[in-house]
Amino acid sequence: MNIRKQVLASLNGCYAVNAFNLNGQPHILVASEAEGGRCLAWRAPDYSESHAIWDGPGGTMSIVPIPGSDGEFLAVQKFFRMYDWEGAKIVHVSPTGSGGYDVRDVLPLPYVHRFDLLPVNGRNYFIACTLARQKQSAADWANPGCIWVGEYTADGLVGLRVLKDGLTKNHGYSRQEIGGVTRALVTCEEGAFEVTPPQTPDGDWTVRQFMDWPISDISAIDIDGDGELEFATIESFHGRYFRVYKRIDGKFARIYEHPEVSEFYHVVVGATLAGQPVFVGGCRRGKQQLFYVHAAQTSPLKLEEKLIEEGVGPSNACVVHEPGRDIIAVANRETNEAALYIVT
């Protein structure tokens, strides 16, 4: 496959990235984690010009479009540094029609790092993961985080409650369709958990643990086409290892490890690029690579990595599929660079 880079902007502390539709057109969003950091949007198809969603306060860890809306999304703000997160909150963002945006508080939630909206039969179920309950310093993990759930409606969040607590360094999250059902994968020092939202209006949430060792981040895709998901992980918190696991005889077997052992792996995304299933990965230390892992052969299975770019230090990435091409939108945190990698 061919990959061409397009730099969108220099954005101090760029961290969160996602895609949404505004006025019926696809856009890329990139937001900063820095104090006073901005959130910017670029419009398809050329993504050549940006406009500001906000010019502060920053501290954005996650951005989640509201399903079925035009230009509305939720985002984290005021999640600053490694322990000053008491003011973290979730905000609702909507276009005003005059070129601006209305940003209003939805939920004060200290230490909220990842969250999502899971659509089920016309309902949007809310899930949020807090890294801790309270921290006195960057090294203080005495008060583990938890998983919050509820439902997001036109009137706001309803039924908000703690689904599971006692999750130390509750950092990783990805959305995954498993068995035809949209589920959430949550990772922490205790392992990996599959969280399923209610499938009926009177149903309940379920939690199932499926890995039991420290994991920072996770994503899944059927990388070898055998009908079963493989799981890529970063281990452990802000970890040194990028690994891929396959279930063999009912147990997880490690089938791949990225050759660089370096602190602060931070990107892991299961997606297809040019029709090929891959894991996109990235690290914020060492060689600061952005790369993808694919099946060089399937029988026997052999995975290998392909370098996309070195020296960029990505924090987060998302993959957008467009006619005739795929786009990896990346927040290259260590170089303060918002960028696209266009795949054909």
Which CATH architecture does the domain made up of 216-344 adopt?
7 Propeller (2.130)
Judge whether 295 and 270 are in contact, CB under 8 Å: no
Q: Is 143 exposed, middle or buried (0-12, 13-18, 19+ CB in 10 A)?
A: middle
Q: How far is CA 255 from the centre of its chain?
A: 23
Residue 158: per-residue pLDDT: 95
DSSP secondary structure, 201-213, as one string: TT---EEEEEE-S
The residues pairing with 43 across neighbouring beta strands, listed in sequence order, are 27
Name the pTM for this structure: 0.95
In the sheet with 251-257, reading across from the earlier edge strand, the strands are 217-221, 230-235, 241-248, 251-257
User: One digit per residue, pLDDT tens: the chain, 344 residues?
Assistant: 999 999 999 999 999 999 999 998 999 999 999 999 999 999 999 999 999 999 999 999 999 999 999 999 999 999 987 666 789 999 999 999 888 999 999 999 999 999 999 999 999 999 999 999 988 888 899 999 999 999 999 889 999 999 999 999 999 999 999 999 999 999 999 999 999 999 999 999 999 999 999 999 999 999 999 999 999 999 999 999 999 999 999 999 999 999 999 999 999 999 999 999 999 999 999 999 999 999 999 889 999 999 999 999 999 999 999 999 999 999 999 999 999 999 99
Return the DSSP state at 80.
B
Residue 86: per-residue pLDDT: 84
| Buried b or exposed e, range 169-200, using 16+ CB within 10 angstroms | bbbbbbebeeeeebbbbbbbbbbbbbbbbbee
